[in-house]
Amino acid sequence: MTLFELYIELQRVHSPLPAAWQMKTGRSEAWPMIHCSLPVEAFRLGNGTGIGEKKMSKLLSANFLRLIKNKVFWGGLILMAAWGIFVPVKMHMDAVQSGYTNNIENAFFGCAIFVGIVMAVFCSMFIGTEYNDGTIRNKIIVGGKRWAIYLANMAVSCVVGVVLCVAYMIPYLFVGMPLLGAFTAPGEMVLLTMLTVLLFAVALSAVFTCIAMVCQNKAATAVICILLAFGFLMTAMVLNEMLDAPETIKEYSLEDDGSMSSFEEPNPKYLTGTNREIVQTLYDINPGGQAIQCAAMTAVNPLRLPLYSLGIILLATGAGIVLFRDRDLK
């Protein structure tokens, strides 16, 4: 325990003297209350670095040490790895039964659908625990910079998002290539989609970190993040249905002789021109839309998706730092 932590503890707890001290001094009264007016500089470590002036590297080290012991992280990692093993095995079994050929890339990026939900749980629990334990408040009390605390938590969340995707892809490759064969899609498309998925995971991490750092209630943060993750996917499904509407629809009519005839008519729900561009842009920006397009490798504007993810990262991070800086911590 550092000198500063000892001071805080003695100020908070008015406890009896330890038994060893009583035997040595013959005193059994309580610890005297300490009233200290020393500045933070008085509680410097031996190397001259103030506790209230921790560098970014120290904040990151502390966060990654917590991460190694975090059960939610390990649970998500095992879940994604297990899913990466199960999917190619199931695809191979279906191909054997139906005779239909499944290519390895058909579900290689399926992690994009689930990583958002796992990250919603992780960010809300990992950062929410810091609020519940008073860790964030204590970091600020001893002089920690709010922007550094925010970025340290965001860095851990982003790393976890990438690691979860990789934890799905690597087992998928090791199991899928012997069962399903090599990739048939162009290598450039596979690499671009992989980059898009990883940036998409970082973008979701930035969004959930923003919510978790601004909302101090752990339960409320978990509900908001999980609902938002599902909301992204549900909204994307609606937009996808609008974009997939056929240009024409088949109509049937009954002829005079009692026979049925069919003919094509324009579909009023088919989007064209500016309306289609607007819906497609919303679909591309929406993280849920990016997840669906990457999972199916059907992106209409593949080069735009990474740029949209970068925009989400910058906006979420900027907004989060500003809101957290002005936040009145309990």
pLDDT in tens, 202-218: 999 999 999 999 988 88
- By C-alpha distance, which of 272, 78, 59 is closest to 149? 59
pTM above 0.85, yes or no: no
Q: What is the mean pLDDT of the chain?
A: 82
Give the pair of three-digit tokens for residue 181. Answer: 């064969």
Residues 125-140 have pLDDT tens digits of 999 888 888 888 888 8
DSSP 17-58: PPHHHHHHH---SBPPPP-----GGGG--TTS--GGG--HHH
